[in-house]
A and B are shown apart, each in its own frame.
Chain A
């Protein structure tokens, strides 16, 4: 009994230690990347390719996410607020939610799934086929060649994609609320202008920026630290997507609290 308990505690301890060590390694990777970004040349060719993959090719996904989240949110709010006679607040609530939470979080989740997993898979494949060793052998610093371009592409793309999602969501909520569900257009706009400020968009974009760092760090780490074999490429891929998504969701709560202190809503 006691032995089992000790074993149990040992197991928890070991896995906690592993988690802490992994987190430390990720911070290290992040740091190395930042230093490299600031001190070495930026590989334009690689960066443009990544920008294309991360930014340009993700537009459809993010657009659909924004449109339908905005639409369904507006509809649901109108259904509920209608009972209180507050239809005209629909736009305000839906748009605020899009700016501050739904736009950044849902876009980040989609990007974690689409881009984070792809990055991890690509890097893991490069690792098991010794391509990363080959880079080092050719006197190329892998962080400079592989990681920095991915960081830059994510940092630039995700805020822009989130802006797109917010725009699409806000537009969709207008079309659902006003023409479709018969909310008064004038009041809708009036309230929107009164209660939604540029800072709400800023909150979304700032969150997007930090989410981009979280996703790209986890994805690159999982790719670079995969073991050997096809199975570990698969594992790196799923872990990148899952861990990045969970980290986005958890950190979002803290970002919300922090940003609410920085930009008080009143």
Chain B
């Protein structure tokens, strides 16, 4: 079962009006692996993730999750798949009318099987795991950017879903916190066998978490491989990306 494919993107295209963002993305994600997706800002990483749970529908192509093509699945049948996938939105997307505690406990409350005390205990547990102590009763508007991100992370992992999608989980965090979130991502996989998809710009996260790395460029998967292979890759584009080197045309101002 090592090689079981959980998620399979096949020739996924996405257009927004005239803008052709995804131009045939093909990518397999195996069970219990950590797939890190990198790519230039605006290249369509967040858009790709949203396709996974049917928040966006592809203009063409197939996205098979657990054997079902979400591209053609009606909204009403997405529920089963969405319950298996936890997602951390890039902007957090916390419910701003709810407290931190209610936000994090929301997925559990929705299952309608847990007692209030039970939920509270689990909420405290995950909030501790993301380094937030005694912040239960704050409103999202009262949090710092990094804290908001971590609350969003807590909300995504509380249900221990089979797949967790992290859209830039460490952007805006201090280096110590970044390291602790990287460890958390690894722990989720080691303890619960979670399949992780991590979008990041942080090379530390890439090398700390990735089993494989996919680089998105101009709407297609430009290269896939282990972090080691990525380092060894002689392609200029890849080397410039991981080295953080801009070319002349990028700085032509």
Which residues of A line the B interface, CB within 8 A?
Answer: 125-126, 129-131, 133-134, 136-140
Pairs A-B, 7 closest by C-beta atoms: A134-B93, A130-B93, A139-B82, A139-B79, A137-B87, A139-B83, A133-B55
Q: Is B106 an interface residue (CB 8 A)?
A: yes
User: Which residue, of A131, A133, A139, has the highest number of chain B Cβ atoms within 10 A?
Assistant: A139
A136: chain B residues at CB < 8 Å are 53-55, 75, 78, 82
A-B residue pairs in contact (CB < 8 Å), sample of 5: A126-B96, A129-B96, A130-B93, A137-B53, A137-B82
Q: How far is the CB of A140 from chain B (nearest CB, A)?
A: 6
Interface size range of chain B in the complex: 20 to 34
Query: B93 near A133 (CB under 8 angstroms)?
Result: yes
Q: Which of A126, A130, A134 is the most central at the interface, judged by chain B CB atoms within 10 Å of its CB? A: A134
- A130 vs B89: C-alpha distance when bound (angstroms): 8
Q: Is B50's beta carbon under 8 Å from chain A?
A: yes
Q: Which residues of B approach A to under 8 Å, CB–CB?
A: 50, 53-55, 75, 78-79, 82-83, 85, 87, 89, 91, 93-96, 106-107, 110
Distance in angstroms from A229 CB to nearest chain B CB is 13
Total A-B residue pairs with C-beta atoms closer than 8 Å?
Answer: 42
Contacts of B106 in A (CB 8 A): 138
Chain A residues with Cβ below 8 Å from B53 are 136-137
Closest to B46 in A: A130
Q: Which residue of B lies closest to A128 (CB)?
A: B91
The answer to whether A131 and B110 have CB atoms under 8 Å apart is no
- Interchain CA distance A131-B82 in the complex, whole Å: 15
Are B96 and A131 within 8 A (Cβ)?
yes
Cβ–Cβ contact A138 & B91, under 8 A? no
By a CB distance below 8 angstroms, the chain A residues around B83 are: 139
CB neighbours of B54 from chain A (8 A): 136
